[in-house]
Amino acid sequence: MSFIRENRLFFLCFAVFAVGGAVLLEYLPQGEEIIWLSRHRSPAADVFFKGATLLGEGYIFFAVGLVFLYRRRRDWIWSSVLGLLVMLTAYGAKTWFAHDRPYAWFQKMGQWAAVTPVPGVDMHSGATSFPSGHTMAAFAIYSFLAFTVSPKRGWPLLLFAVALTVGVSRMYLVQHFWKDVYFGALIGVVLAWGVYVRSGRARYGCAG
């Protein structure tokens, strides 16, 4: 509980996301979120979300690891462990569930004409939609970072916003559905929490 209190800003954001996301999951038909985003595209938003989605790529773990290697070598080890767990979890879940990507799903439903893809973005069409690996990676690494920085400066809020933006970008770019993003985020936070606690920093009250 002390760990949650120390990171209450982050967990408050996460609680709002979890509850609001569950409501959307219950009442929003699959595909509607992508169609809505497709109808509200703009050149500026296209550029923004194409850049934002890169913040959920695997190289982010490498970049964060370099910072930790310079400042906190122990956290470098645990961030590497987190990256490996994310990779294995995402691969295992995608293989197990084998849900169609939006492109394949809309094609099968005969509704692809309702979607306007972002120019220059290749459409993935395999059965690898659930969960979103980019979202899982983003919420894992940025949650881990949020747990290690001082909550007094608002960093946890910013890091949560970055992770959420990565998730939205996956829907905007027609790569994932809301359910993929939602559960990818939940899994990512759980993995970050577990690795952080396992590292011993939460136990000794070393956040910040």
DSSP 98-109: -PPPHHHHHHHH
Q: Per-residue confidence at 71, pLDDT binned at 50, 70, 90?
A: low
Tens digits of residue pLDDT in 13-66: 999 999 999 999 999 999 999 999 999 999 999 999 999 999 999 889 888 877
DSSP reduced 3-state for 145: helix
What is the amino acid identity at position 95? T
Structure-token match 């893809």, residue found: 117
Tens digits of residue pLDDT in 141-166: 999 999 988 666 788 899 999 999 99
CA atoms of 22 and 182, how far apart (whole Å): 8
CA atoms of 47 and 55, how far apart (whole Å): 14
**Cα 35 to the chain's mean position, in Å?**
21
pLDDT in the model for residue 77: 82
CA atoms within 13 A on the CB side of 192: 27
Q: Per-residue confidence at 8, pLDDT binned at 50, 70, 90?
A: confident
* Cα separations in angstroms, 141 against 42, 135, 145, 172, 188: 29, 10, 6, 22, 8
pLDDT in the model for residue 144: 93
pLDDT beyond 90 at 202: no
Query: Domains in the chain, please, with CATH?
Result: 2-198 (1.20.144)
* Cα separations in angstroms, 42 against 37, 62, 75: 10, 32, 40
pLDDT in the model for residue 155: 87
pLDDT in the model for residue 94: 97
What's the first-to-final CA gap in the chain, in angstroms? 16
Query: What average pLDDT does the structure give for the chain?
Result: 90
